[in-house]
């Protein structure tokens, strides 16, 4: 959600910009190769740069390199980055677990929320969006592919997706665009993302515009692309692995 703010975004060092350019080239190559293997057009897969814990200067550098979608998972950090980068032409995604009391804050800067997983959150986001936004907020339902075994990750059971989708559709200030999921830890991502693809097909029977499948991260994006992911959320493979202080190491 870009702004007319005249603030100048912070700049990354030349060395850091080169690191990010190399990481971006690697990830784009992986996506292209995965699409080729799956018989898909790479244009059908959107790269979302997950910039949590990284400075605003990295987000600005990625934007200058052509990245148009960035994601954060904590409201406080996301809000601060948006404030310093509001002039950037990027789409802001919120991908973390969201408490109802943060809804009013998140709807002010996020273009998309990926982690809607319960009726109470639908109500909170819808109310906040109706008061603080001119346009509907795009949302995805987070699907629990581990049926509650992944403590803290959240998600709605596949069997409850249809009901929650109906609540979003009836809200008036939210727009359902698709599904998001994380492959269960230690499980076969192919099986998980195949199941997500099936849930997506069922969802589109009633909500034909809910075409997004947000799935796949640094370690399993190829599997996600193979099973129809339209958006992949990549952090460490793009930005490097976080170490103590402010540095990074290549993954």
Across the chain, mean pLDDT equals 92
Whole-model pTM: value is 0.92
| Rounded-to-5 percentages of helix, strand, coil across the chain | 45, 20, 35
Q: How confident is the model at residue 245, as a pLDDT?
A: 46
Mean pLDDT of 133-159: 86
Counting every residue written for the chain, the total comes to 251
- Note whether 150 and 185 are within 8 A (CB): yes
What is the mean predicted confidence (pLDDT) over 17-39? 98
CA dist 204 and 212 (Å) reads 10
> Residue 2: what pLDDT?
46
- Top pLDDT among 182 and 251 is at 182
178 sits in which H/E element: strand 174-180
How high is the pLDDT of residue 153?
72
Domains and CATH numbers, the chain: 14-242 (3.20.20.10)
- HSE, side-chain direction, 13 A CA sphere, residue 222: 11
Task: Read off the pLDDT of residues 171-202 as tens digits, 9 standing for 90 and up.
Answer: 999 999 999 999 998 889 999 999 999 999 99
Q: How far is CA 124 from CA 107, 116, 130, 161, 178, in A?
A: 10, 11, 10, 18, 19
In this predicted model, what pLDDT tens digit does every residue of 167-176 receive, in sequence order?
999 999 999 9
pLDDT band at 152; cut points 50, 70, 90 = low
Average pLDDT in the 205-231 region?
A: 98
pLDDT digits (tens, 9 = 90+) for 79-97: 999 999 999 999 999 999 9
Residue 110 contacts residue 1 (beta carbons within 8 Å):
yes
CA 208 to mean position of chain CA atoms = 21
Q: Tokens standing for 212? A: 């997004």
In whole angstroms, what is the distance from residue 72 CA to residue 114 CA?
11
């Amino acid at each position: 959600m870009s702004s007319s703010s005249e603030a100048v975004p912070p700049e990354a060092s030349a060395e850091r910009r080169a690191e990010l350019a190399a990481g971006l080239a690697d990830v784009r190559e992986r996506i292209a190769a995965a699409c080729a293997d799956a018989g898909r057009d790479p244009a059908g897969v959107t790269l979302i740069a997950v910039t949590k814990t990284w400075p605003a200067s990295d987000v600005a550098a990625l934007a200058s390199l052509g990245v148009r979608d960035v994601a954060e998972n904590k409201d406080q950090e996301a809000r601060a980055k948006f404030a310093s980068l509001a002039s950037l032409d990027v789409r802001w995604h919120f991908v973390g677990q969201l408490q109802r009391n943060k809804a009013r804050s998140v709807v002010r800067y996020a273009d998309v929320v990926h982690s809607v997983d319960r009726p109470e959150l639908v109500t909170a986001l819808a109310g906040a969006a109706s008061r603080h936004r001119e346009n509907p907020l795009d949302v995805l339902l987070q699907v629990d592919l581990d049926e509650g075994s992944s403590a803290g990750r959240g998600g709605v059971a596949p069997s409850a997706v249809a009901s929650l989708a109906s609540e979003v559709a009836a809200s008036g200030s939210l727009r359902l665009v698709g599904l998001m999921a994380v492959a269960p830890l230690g499980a076969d991502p192919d099986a998980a993302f195949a199941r997500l693809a099936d849930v997506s097909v069922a969802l589109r029977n009633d909500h034909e515009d809910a075409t997004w499948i947000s799935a796949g991260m640094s370690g399993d994006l190829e599997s996600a692309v193979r099973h129809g992911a339209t958006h992949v959320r990549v952090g460490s493979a793009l930005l490097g692995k976080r170490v103590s202080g402010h540095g990074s190491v290549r993954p």
